[in-house]
Amino acid sequence: DIYQIQSISIFSFLLACGGMNPSNLMNYEVISNKKGFSLINSILLDSKFHYLKFKKSKKGMTYRFIKINFRIKKLIEIMKILFHISHYKKYPFILETYSNQKKVFNFNIYEQANLYKNLWNFYQKKLREVSKIKFSNAKSIYYQFLNEIEMNKTISEIMYGDIKDEDALKIRDISGLKEKIEKAENDVLNKIGIDEITQILINKLKFLDLDLNDVSFTDCKTPIEFSRLIERLNRYHKGL
């Protein structure tokens, strides 16, 4: 059912984003060079892209940065559409606005802890209906794939989110570094098979008569266009 597909799309996103936690999906930031990267970020990040920023661990203060490439963007779009089908009527306040196409959710998980807990318990149950994995397995599985990638020490530290600021400042060939980072990013996503997983999600939705070629938030530029999209999505809400 659609909830099972949602659970798979969530896990796929967590996995593709370096094994982020479910709480990260709710409260990640989106940063870009438009407002100016920090000195360290200007060395490690590609100024042509937006990035997801979230804590590497719940208790730590180290941040991960995940490039919003076309693969990540597609997973966000799938989740955004599915959650507008399943939750817009009853819980519109938990969803990000249609104009922000880089985020799915927008609510305080600490102020609405019960809602957050119930949401993830439900989707964890749905994931277990089709798989033996848990959302919390995303990080360890990602690291397994990352271990299979050929990288030098510096790239490895960057990909694991472990590089120290003083070491980043010592890097001289920044252009060459960014090429190697991009290669490692693509290599690990290829190892995961994220393109194949995304296509499976798209095909599964077609069985539910939902063709993602016909519905997209990229077409929503005004409130009227958003209302029209919601009208189209509402027909998929029947029976939920």
Residue-range domain boundaries for the chain = 2-20+69-237
Q: Is 159 exposed, middle or buried (0-12, 13-18, 19+ CB in 10 A)?
A: buried
Helices 70-87, 223-237: inter-axial angle, 10-degree rounding: 70
3-state secondary structure of 28: coil
User: What phi and psi, each to the nearest 5 degrees, are found at residue 88?
Assistant: -65, -35
For 7-66, the pLDDT digits (tens) are: 999 999 999 999 999 999 999 999 988 777 888 888 899 999 999 999 888 777 788 999
H/E element, 65: strand 63-67
Rounded CA-CA distance 141/30 in Å is 24
pTM of the model: 0.92
Residue 63, strand partner residues? 55
pLDDT digits (tens, 9 = 90+) for 67-109: 999 999 999 999 999 999 999 999 999 999 998 999 999 999 9
Closest CA relative to residue 146, chosen from 200, 191, 198 = 191
| Kind of pairing between the strands at 51-55 and 29-31 | antiparallel
